Structure 1
């Protein structure tokens, strides 16, 4: 992934941001500033990083910039401004990118090569060949990332800034990344700024950090939060902050306008709906009655019955330990694994169920789903074990209205129990 630097010539791309630059003799190429702009819409962050370097040497140099990466991010834009030239990223195969870069450097052109470090998957290196003497280089990288949600519904944003040495058994100790020497943060003075704009479909109630002070200003009735750093950043830890929305478990909707001048999907308007349900109560509810109603009619032959059997197996292996369960097979007729009603989930009952699961086939004639469902709903509920019914079928029934009516009636009953 590489390029040479003629006007608007393309270069390579790969991932993302931050600090150290060295020339071929491993003397630092001064990093003048890092400016980071973060745009958070709902659960997604778009990060733009502007890194400005300056070659103080009297001759052109080849510089290596090394910084952490985040595996969950996706870079969508990389460009550079060097000595009046604008270089834009182009993705190439790794070997071809290296050849393109080497050819450009040997020809005396300014070139860039961006790649994932071979020593670790979370380190990113950018090689800048033939950076002219007394010249400033500005690198702009943009990426998007889905923000992870904490158990209490808060969202965590992290800007990786710490580049740690890696233990390498082959080399007998700690080694640097490709072409890089690790420099303590106290020895690398940078001008650093970060501005974050947070917009939510729901109100933003707070933006906090345990590691650094923040200036937070709310606008538009708390639908927008503007964030900046309240102190100098020392580069001795990753920069993190936490976003709390008013309704973290409700859906968030983001509309992105398309670009009429672009091609393909980028031309279209996009609507994104994000939803993180609160699963704490579900996870705590280990009790329950689980009934699996399996279609074994002739229309389920081939892949359909095979997929149903596989799904049933996964369900059985995932049941909570304190539950009750049963399996009902149906076609023209129906039959239950446990004819007297659901049994407690034990090793013995599980083995019985798996034996039936393995022997299942699409060998029970037509598709009569109404009667087995009536049999399920007519059974008395087990105290403190809410009933959950799973139906695995291709949906080929003729009395659809009756089936839907029965389920609708019973669901209303269950909500009042």
Structure 2
């Protein structure tokens, strides 16, 4: 079985990435063989199309509601024919895999399309392409086109497998608003000279950021849909009051507690002088390092570092009491800066086993105790932890959850997470648009904005508006801000006209992508009654725009003589 052509075509238009992977395979044997198409794609992406063509006949994938697709195929599954086609393969990727039997001398073409909104983190967007053909490929290429009407501020490519020879196969062309990256290695360049196998195995990454002039962000409009990006720069940092709640139960013993100590020592160095902080550690008992929050003076940080060095692990897990103590500490805190951000960062690797152990009760009690006043971030270490429990608790309290993978770089993952939330620059951000003129507005109120990230709001301009006025209200470290901007609808529409590589109604698809993501996130922490309505709406949009989301399935059809019934479902971190 030979892959004679493998192409990755990616168009990024105003942060919305549309990637098509096409693999052409021929069976050179004189009997039928199985051909496998295997792609790793970002977890944040939605598959939107898949097809196979065998000797010119096309077998399209069909996107259906997950429940009905499952029923239809349960019969076939019971005969042991089908395994899930998509599985999580790491902290950023999931793998799509499909196999088909190919007759002697026949050819098959696989084509997969997926879409995602690139998220700004630590001041840059990252487009991650996983490259792993497992064999030398006659025609191999990665072709990336980027169009950013705001202007491209910087652009870099990075790869885990580039040698000097392979670097020669990489070309970058860039002007003010566009960039084209082409990676097209010959078979000789792909070859590892020592073993004759392919060198292409790993990540190919494009990172970039855009120019930002307008204070109230940037608005773009296509076919009546708008997207508004807001990422102010050079804002003073809000001081933060942070309580670290650290699990030191028995299961944390060994490498995990070592990595936690290592990460906390680095994090302590990153605290700013005006920050306040403290530690609560817990197993079946809960201990406070100090009875109140301390200012991050050199002396206090040194004393905390000495304490962190002594952390060891044994005993049970009383998450409930530890979090209640953290909330209490923040509530009692005196002399905190008037405009400051209070947060709790929980790190745990397991289920609650001591004290209150019912997750629903813990979630409800913590939500009541926090009362919308502080943000709760939950880091789940490894796979013994109930991610669902942590995710719901974090999302119910204005924070987010993250899984920390038990790898050599776990300490770096912990630091990386901290860096994302270390520099809050605005709080209580409200994005206002003319009420009677916008439909289907995505989330427009945000508790916090961190340096290096970005707020994205999208919607449909319902009537014949000539000007779209925008008003942003927020609190910064020094004052209450009001920012205003007006977008000329006709002028904005023209920016994207005649752009040969814009795919269709990309802002409408961006709007659908964002709306589905937000509906699914909201349903995690919503009461049961609302949950159903949110999921129903997310399902309607998933079907309308043909996205494989946690509510839909991609049904892969195959030639009639082959085992039928294969479903691609989107896995979630919570399983």
Shorter-normalised TM range: 0.3 to 0.5
Higher relative contact order by CA 8 Å / sep ≥ 6: 1 or 2?
Answer: 2
TM-score normalised according to structure 2 size? 0.35
TM-score normalised according to structure 1 size? 0.47
Q: Which of the two has greater helix per residue?
A: 2
Q: Larger Rg: 1 or 2?
A: 1
